[in-house]
Amino acid sequence: MLDRFANPTRFLRFADRVLPWSTGVAVLGFVVGLPLALWLSPPDYQQGESVRIMYVHVPAAWLGLQTYGLMALAAAVGFIWKHPLATMAAQAAAPVGAAFTFICLVTGALWGKPMWGAWWVWDARLTSMLVLLFLYIGYMALASAFDDPERGRKAAGVLAIVGAVNVPIIKYSVVWWSTLHQPASVFRMDGPTIAGGMLLPLLVMALACHGLLVSVVLLRLKIALTEAKIRALRLVQTGAG
């Protein structure tokens, strides 16, 4: 399976088939989810209307974590099986994951001010999410810090793999330490504890964000492959000249 999609031509055909569906999911998800989240869902009995920030904050947090996990996995595949496309996928995903993580932190601050009385506290969940943003930034900086692109990709890949230890720390920080964040209320062994009127828009917004992630990463990968092809053609032309 990996060998099949490691071929750029096959991957581009796959991307062309997936892109309309993922884009459609994103557009339809936001068209349905935003009105549900901002107007039609009920206010929380404690948080009031400020609970609506949750419909952006929580999906952004999920996507920030998931994207980093996939990025670290792609970097590992690039090291183990020497698939250039896996490394390119990690590089394509990094800015998107960083954007979701940044949105998570900003919306968390907007949510925290009315709920906790402060824009920021050194809570275990907040601090580990900030570390995640720094890991994204460090990955992107390392990838472009060397004159030799291959050395940059290897250094960034090592950081991505090592930094993956932060993902379970973020996930289980509310269990391991006393934090201001509540425990998981959606993905639980005994089922969601969040009210159905809030769960539906949350899941729709999460689905829309996933569609957006897939579409943007695939587009960035297509651009990266096109640029690589152009560079290869120029090298051939230079050698022939």
Which three-class secondary structure string do you get for 100-154? Answer: HHHHHHHHHHHHHHHHHCCCCCCCHHHHHHHHHHHHHHHHHHHHCCCCCHHHHHH
CA 33 to chain centre: 19
Task: Look up tokens 């729709």; give the residue.
Answer: 204
Predicted local distance difference test score (pLDDT) of residue 101:
97
For 67, 107, 138, 222, 240, the CA distances from 134, given in Å and listed in that order, are 14, 17, 6, 26, 44
Segment 96-123 mean pLDDT: 89
Predicted local distance difference test score (pLDDT) of residue 231:
82
Predicted local distance difference test score (pLDDT) of residue 178:
67
Q: How far apart are CA 171 and CA 223, in angstroms?
A: 33
How many CB atoms neighbour CB 61 within 10 A? 23
Tokens describing residue 61: 């947090």
Predicted local distance difference test score (pLDDT) of residue 157:
95
Segment 148-157 mean pLDDT: 88
pLDDT at 27 over 80: yes
- Nearest in space to 15 (alpha carbons), one of 229, 224, 241: 224
**Which has more confidence, 179 or 205?**
205
Segment 65-88 mean pLDDT: 92
> Residue 12 — left, alpha, or beta (φ > 0 → left; ψ -120 to 50 → alpha)?
alpha
Q: How far apart are CA 100 and CA 64, in angstroms?
A: 5
How many CB atoms neighbour CB 220 within 10 A? 18
H/E stretch holding 86 reads: helix 84-116
> Residue 82 — left, alpha, or beta (φ > 0 → left; ψ -120 to 50 → alpha)?
left
DSSP 99: H
- Per-state percent for the chain, helix, strand, coil, to nearest 5: 80, 0, 20
* Three-state secondary structure call for residue 44: strand
